[in-house]
Amino acid sequence: MSDNRGRDGGFRPRRETGKRPVARGGEKKFAPHDGKPSFGEKKFVPRDGKPSFGEKKFAPRDGKPSFGEKKYAPRDGKPSFGEKQFAPRREHAPNIAPRRVALETLLDVSRSDAYASLALDKRLAQAALGQRDRAFVTQLVYGTLENRLTLDWRIDQFLEGDKEIDPTVREILRMGAYQLFYLDRVPDMAAVDESVSLTRAMGLEALTGLTNAVLRNMIRGKDSVQFPKPQEDPIRYLSVMFSAPRELVRMLVDAYGEHETLEILRYRPKDRSVTVRVNGLRCDDARLRALLADSELEFSPGLLPGTYKVKQAGDLTRMRAFQNGLFTIQGESSVLAARMVGAKPGQTVLDACAAPGGKTAVLSEMMQDTGRVYAWDTHAHRVDLIRGTVNRLKLENVRPAVKDEAAPRPEVAMTLDAALVDAPCSGTGVMLEKPDVKYRVSEAGVAALCRMQAEILDAVAPMVKVGGTLVYSTCSILPMENQQQVSAFLERHPEYEVFPMGGELPPALAAHETQTGLQMFAHRDGTDGFYVCRLRRVKA
């Protein structure tokens, strides 16, 4: 599926106001040590002066010890008899390496509008981190992104004056606040200290005090934060509490109402799993289950035959079975969309928006690697992804190509047995896996995507033979991209009609199919938020 999404503009540039932001509440002030001590502060005299009353006086290390004082040999010499030798004391060095990788990834997203998954893969590839640190970085990046607006609401209540602080410090505060309020295994003070160290490491020494004070005050005042009230402003409440931009919330409320929008936004799966699908041309279910068991992976059958949900999967791409093409990683809703095409051996089929090639592979395998599967995408680097997928799975009947899916092709009219259009979309159905998606959604952006989807459908529709199948799908939950798009298509193309999927669907999903297709939801169906509609050409 191609990605063509709008952007929310990212961060506004910092406004120079002449005032430096300061933290609110509870910050301690220390007098300089060259002045008089404040009340309750101990004052120490220099070691070359006389001790105050009650202070012990120690002889210099090169002199004789006083009565009862132990004598220690120089650290670079041998210890005396019975004396323990201690290594020089080391100052605590915060482990900021993983957090710095996470920070740089988040800055790639906020400053350069990079996709989080691609930015994270690139940063992890450049960093020499162990598996545990890599997992922590991944959790920190996605957790901070997923809760960004909620974290900002908390942070802003502990800032006085200008809220437009340095973007790097803002991102460090988000990461720190995420560790404080969402990660039980990170001690509060460790989150604070390492956030301060990270601020310093980024060359922002002057702002370390701000980082320290805001996070410490957030700990002290965590129960005093005032959140929006749903009865006063439901859109604002849903936006802040579930970290979704107001424009997106408004579109969801218009489509589904406040209660269902609440269910959509607040859903978080208890166990995050990865879905894998067996390559039926090179493996079977029994062998795949044995391979997963041999790797000591916990798994369970998915909704569709040949699919399995793997818990705590780690990096499955390192498995030799994956590299040898015995299985692939693919969401169930994606598999379902491709299977609804009903491709048969010897047919000619088009996957119009094919990258990265998962659905193309399903079509090829259904056809027993016979006939022809054309796999198109607009961008050359994405077509390379398709080639990588089919080469790993050792599929011979696929023909990847760089082609504009929306361009009319009269020479190809009525030559296809079937076509799949998994169109570019808002991605609102995969916000759980790709939390950066939701910050790019806008009404103008979705309207532009709808126009593109219509153009692709209009270009592909004439290519299908009479009696052939056209499947339209998106990873969106917005009706304007799905049911409304299909209804408009049928008005423009009376030669098509909806071809119900019925008994080919798992019973739990079949119950939700309507006259304009099937809309899946993560909170209801345990799949990605995905839309699939199957159409059949009934006349020329």
Given a contact cutoff of 8 angstroms between Cβ atoms, the answer to whether 113 and 139 are in contact is no
- Choose among 357, 348, 347, 343: nearest CA to 393: 357
- Choose among 400, 343, 392, 394: nearest CA to 375: 400
Give the position of tokens 């047995």: 417
Under DSSP, the state recorded for 462 is G
3-state SS string over 239-307? HHHCCCCHHHHHHHHHHHHHHHHHHHHHCCCCCCEEEEEECCCCCCHHHHHHHHHHCCCEEEECCCCCE
Bridge partners (DSSP) of residue 497 are 536
- Cα 210 from Cα 172, distance rounded (Å): 11
**353, 425, 450, 475: which one is catalytic?**
475
Active-site annotation holds for 353: no
291-323 in b/e form (b: 16+ CB < 10 A) is: bbeebebebeebbbebbbbbeebeebeebebbe
Three-state DSSP state, 377: strand
- Cα 216 from Cα 199, distance rounded (Å): 15
Q: Pairing between strand 327-329 and 273-278? A: antiparallel
Active site residues: 475
